[in-house]
Amino acid sequence: MSAIALPGIEVDPVADQESAASATWYAFRRNPLGLIALGMLVLLTLIAVAAPLISPYPRGFSTDVLQAPSSAHFFGTDSLGRDVFAEVVWGTRISMTVGVSASALAIGIGVLVGMLGAYFRRVDAVLRLVVDLSLSLPVLPLMILVAAVAGPSLGTIIVVISFFSWPEVARVVRSQALSVVNLPYMDAARLVGGGHAWILRRHLLPAVAPVVTVSVVLTASRAVIAEAGLSFLGLGDPNSWSWGRVLYESQQAGSMTSAWWTTLFPSIAILLLVVAATLVALAYNDARNPRGRES
């Protein structure tokens, strides 16, 4: 910490920040599990971006229905003769888009509410009550209700998931911000005459940033699971392939149990993404914690 400025010794806060970041990265690199997980996330992102190069869009029907995996169809075909490999590759794109967008929206709301709650103690009681109440309700049935009324589309899914995911983010950010708002440097910021918005942005936000980083990854992976759940129940966008929709189509066609390849591969894709995201978050948490670095 460079909180104490001694005469004659110049402390450059930016350089210090950089060294903290590089120390974290250095510790992260020594965690093999974290690196593999990070590589997995990068690979999935590449597949999502390069989907058109990897496989044609799973559009037309063919007579090759429910074919087992072969060299022509790596993951076999579904009940309408569409290539499951193509569905999973294009599903990566949609599932990750939903995960990232829903998480971005939820993080935005959650960080704002969490910081406001910790900073302005008067609104805290109300915000905390809302967060506590929404956390104790069964979220999936509520998402189903809203998605069903609003009609299935990618936009609906993203808004619905983020609308019910921000309370968790707000809770985490608030508890981190609470431990910071009473520190002397916040008083100092006020003493220099900083406005509320400036203090929140320049002093509180950097303090909660590490928690937010972890939250981004975890919220995104939960959003992917939530999207899969909604799509599996038939509430997904009928015009775009997500992993949940592949499972839904398989269930609707009754091939869920007869053609294992129609469910196994999208399931593995979901598991890989969520496990990789969780491991990256855990590894980042460990790497950031100086106490864990020595061992």
Partner 1 sequence: MPPIVWFAARRVAHGLVTLWFALTITFLLLRLLPGDPATAIASTNMDAAARQELLTKYGLTEALPVQYVKYLSQVLQGDLGTSFSQSEPVTQVLMARLPWTLLLTGTALVVTVAIGIPLGVLAATHARGALDRAIQVGGVMGQSLFVPSIGIFFLFVLGLKLQWFPIGGASAEDTYGLAWYLGVLHHLVLPCASLVLVSLGSYVLTLRSTLIDALGEDFCTLARAKGTRERTVVWKHGLRNALLPATTLLGLQLGFLVGGAVLTETIFAYPGVGRAIYEAVIRLDFPVLQGAFVLLSATVVIANMLTDLVYGLLDPRVRNA
Residue ranges that bind partner 1, judged by CB under 8 A: 129-130, 133-142, 144-146, 148-151, 221, 225, 228-229, 232-235, 247, 251, 256-257, 260, 263, 267, 270-271, 274-275, 278-279, 282
Cα dihedral sign, 220-226-228-234: negative
Q: Which is nearer to partner 1, 31 or 134 (CB)?
A: 134
CB of 213 to partner 1, least distance (A): 18
CB of 295 to partner 1, least distance (A): 9
Q: Which is nearer to partner 1, 67 or 221 (CB)?
A: 221
CB of 193 to partner 1, least distance (A): 40
Q: Which is nearer to partner 1, 57 or 260 (CB)?
A: 260
Please give the structure tokens belonging to residue 207.
């303090």
CB of 200 to partner 1, least distance (A): 27
Cα dihedral sign, 102-108-111-114: negative
Q: Which is nearer to partner 1, 123 or 188 (CB)?
A: 123
Please give the structure tokens belonging to residue 81.
């003769």
Phi and psi dihedrals of 83, rounded to 5? -75, 120
Please report, for residues 34, 60, 72, 94, 245, the alpha-carbon distance to residue 68 in angstroms, rounded to integers and kept in the order given: 34, 18, 10, 25, 20
CB of 143 to partner 1, least distance (A): 8
Cα gap 209→204, rounded to integer Å: 9
DSSP state of 242: -
DSSP state of 203: I
What is the biggest distance separating any 2 CA atoms in the chain, rounded to whole angstroms? Answer: 81
CB of 241 to partner 1, least distance (A): 16
CB of 228 to partner 1, least distance (A): 6
Q: Which is nearer to partner 1, 189 or 215 (CB)?
A: 215
- Helix, strand, coil % in the chain, rounded to nearest 5: 75, 0, 25
The count of residues in the chain is 295
Side-chain half-sphere exposure of 208, counting CA atoms within 13 A: 34
List of E strands, the chain: none
How many C-beta atoms lie closer than 10 Å to residue 246's C-beta?
30
Q: Which is nearer to partner 1, 213 or 278 (CB)?
A: 278
Residue type, 172: V
Cα dihedral sign, 232-238-242-248: positive
Q: Which is nearer to partner 1, 63 or 239 (CB)?
A: 239
Q: Which is nearer to partner 1, 207 or 251 (CB)?
A: 251
Residue type, 81: G
CB of 282 to partner 1, least distance (A): 7
